[in-house]
Structure 1
């Protein structure tokens, strides 16, 4: 198999990022033969090795495509905010939510940052297509929840902006379903209050009577919100 045959095959199957196994299936050749060919093409700088057994024909310019390299992950947090265009900030990293403990990596000069969650939080993502690459990303509702859960890494003002921009399309029933499955009183309080700030009502959430800080990164100085049992220590 030469480079031009590989290129035609990948174009036919619409693969911009491909794996060793993809080429084995396409060509019917033995794995060691395919691996040897791909190694040779990488050395000749005709294709790019992204990570073990993952390759591309050209430089990957859209960092969101790199999610495909990591199974059982989805794009979230700041990267999801970037995708949904609710932040003007642009970062040279890709935030991926995962159930596993994974070491941060660098691919194509993009820092891949992994954020581990419990299995009950690994929900609420969808498949999208970026160029010819299928990737997974949190939906709007789960992005709100994830960003609130990881509020030490995402500013509450950014979550507020996400809700504000998407107010007309946010599905309250979906948020309630996720929150009930996650079953965290503290998370319920913070998400409920953030939504209520934008006149979106959540009903039926379980919360305890302990007062929690709205922004867990700030001091306990603030006014108490009786309904949500929160100390409002940040105003915006």
Structure 2
């Protein structure tokens, strides 16, 4: 539900501008209070926050954390979805399509930002964007870099890890097609040594699928084949895979012929 925003008083306008200058558009109660404590009590600061929330200038992200909203008319950009994801779950990194989008490798509008995290967290909807967190074990929590966004360090998967996360956590026809498309399209930009290194920590099925896709893109898959060539078990790309590739001991879908 949209909240009608009232006109800000001079004091409120000054506070919001100071908060943005110092902290970006996501702030904590402590940051707000530090700006106000010379002028009012802690309770008065809480009352002012409640007023700004009621009037639509603050939106609660989680307890004690707020987004400064409705700032487009004041010359400020919109909420950083990546920063929001990091604030919601500290031990997480943005991955999948959102990470690819960060590197200019995915241009479709995203209604959901999906992150990999070390804890369970419910899906949250904030300002029209869904934030989803996929819990993983510690051994698979790697392959990200920290980027500074609005005075905040945000963990974002490298392109190579984002593609492996797609194959590991979202393994379906769409994700596999997307990964192959990006491997072919950005062959000169991707770091395949890093992809191989990251793949060493993945499940054998992910290693088989990645190697199979590298072959389809005419990229050297020798390192990955060395990882799995002594394994006698087989794997399926998806539940509908029926064709068999002997090199990778992988059942794949006919469209890859």
- TM-score relative to the length of structure 2: 0.77
CA distance in 1, matches of 2:239, 2:45: 51
Secondary structure of the 1:94 match is strand
- Alpha-carbon distance between aligned partners in 2 of 1:104 and 1:117, rounded to the nearest angstrom: 16
Matched residue pairs, number?
Answer: 232
In the alignment, which residue of structure 1 is the partner of 2:156? 137
Structure 2 SS opposite 1:48: strand
> Residues 7-53 of structure 1, C-alpha deviation per residue, up to 9 Å, x if partnerless?
23223315121112333455557765543332222123333333322
Question: Paired residue for 1:160?
Answer: 180
Q: Separation in 1 of the partners of 2:215 and 2:24?
A: 44
Residues 179-227 of structure 1, C-alpha deviations (whole Å, 9 max, x = no match): 22x24222111112222322222444422221212x22324x203232x
Higher-helix-fraction structure: 2
- What SS does the aligned partner of 2:195 have? helix
> Could you list the runs of 5+ residues in structure 1 that have no partner in the other structure?
none
CA distance 1:32–1:141, change in 2 (3 Å):
farther
Q: Which has the larger radius of gyration?
A: 2
SS in 2 for 1:210: coil
For each residue in 1:117-159, what CA deviation from the matched residue of structure 2 results, as whole angstroms up to 9, or x when unmatched? 1111111112334566653321111011101112435521111
Judged with a 3 Å threshold, the aligned counterparts in structure 2 of structure 1 residues 28 and 194 are, in CA distance, closer, same or farther, namely: farther
* Corresponding position of 2:217: 198
Matches within 5 A, 1:1-236: 2-27=11-36, 32-59=43-70, 60=78, 63-70=81-88, 71-87=90-106, 89-130=108-149, 134-152=153-171, 154-180=174-200, 182-205=201-224, 206-207=227-228, 208-213=231-236, 215-219=237-241, 221-226=242-247, 228-236=248-256
Provide structure 2 residue ranges, at least 5 long, that are not aligned to the other structure: 1-9, 71-77
CA contact (8 A) 1:149 1:187 kept: yes
Q: Distance in 2 between matches of 1:31 and 1:72?
A: 30
